[in-house]
Structure formats: structure tokens, C-alpha cells
């Protein structure tokens, strides 16, 4: 009986280590999910901003010079990187 108690105690200790590892892994994954959600929100915001800028530039499609001026002002200077 003493032998089986030691064996169960050893198994319990090992399971405790496994649980600790899984908790740490869960914490890391939760942090990773939060970071990814923030990146998705930033990207969605950038996409929406770009769509709005394109819509505003497209309002000047009838006048080439006005279109060119707004294209440079609203889109090129803001979204094109060197």
C-alpha cells in the first residue's frame, strides 16, 4: 500500500507540472491573440481610411486637373512610401 501511495504521489507531481506548463502556454497564447486582434483592428482602420480617401478622390473624376491634384494630396502623399 505504501508503494502504491508513493507511485500515485509521483504521478500527481508529474501531472502538476503538466498543468503548470499548460497554464503558461495558455497565458502566452492569450497574449498572442490580444496582439493579433490589435493588429487586425489597425489594419481594418487603415483599409477603411484608404477606402474613404479613394472615394473622396473619385468625386473629382470629371475634371482631370482636380483629380490629379486630389490624388496627389489625398492618396499619394499619405499612402505611398519612399
pLDDT by residue for the chain (82 residues), tens only, comes to 889 999 999 999 999 999 999 999 999 999 999 999 999 999 999 999 999 999 999 999 999 999 999 999 888 888 887 6
Q: Which of 78, 26, 82 is nearest to 52 (CA)?
A: 78
Residue 37: its pLDDT value, please? 98
CA distance 67 to 63: 6
Within 8 A by CB and 6+ apart from 53, the residues are 74, 75, 78, 79
CA distance 49 to 57: 12
Residue 82: its pLDDT value, please? 65
Domain of 20?
A: 2-79
- The number of folded domains in the chain is 1
CA distance 15 to 32: 26
* CA dihedral sign, ordered 69, 71, 77, 82: negative
Amino acid at each position: 500500500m505504501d508503494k502504491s501511495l508513493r507511485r500515485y504521489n509521483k504521478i500527481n507531481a508529474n501531472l502538476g507540472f503538466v498543468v503548470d506548463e499548460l497554464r503558461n502556454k495558455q497565458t502566452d497564447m492569450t497574449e498572442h491573440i490580444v496582439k493579433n486582434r490589435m493588429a487586425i483592428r489597425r489594419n481594418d482602420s487603415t483599409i477603411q481610411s484608404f477606402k474613404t480617401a479613394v472615394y473622396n478622390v473619385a468625386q473629382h473624376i470629371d475634371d482631370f486637373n482636380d483629380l490629379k491634384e486630389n490624388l496627389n494630396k489625398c492618396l499619394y502623399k499619405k499612402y505611398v512610401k519612399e
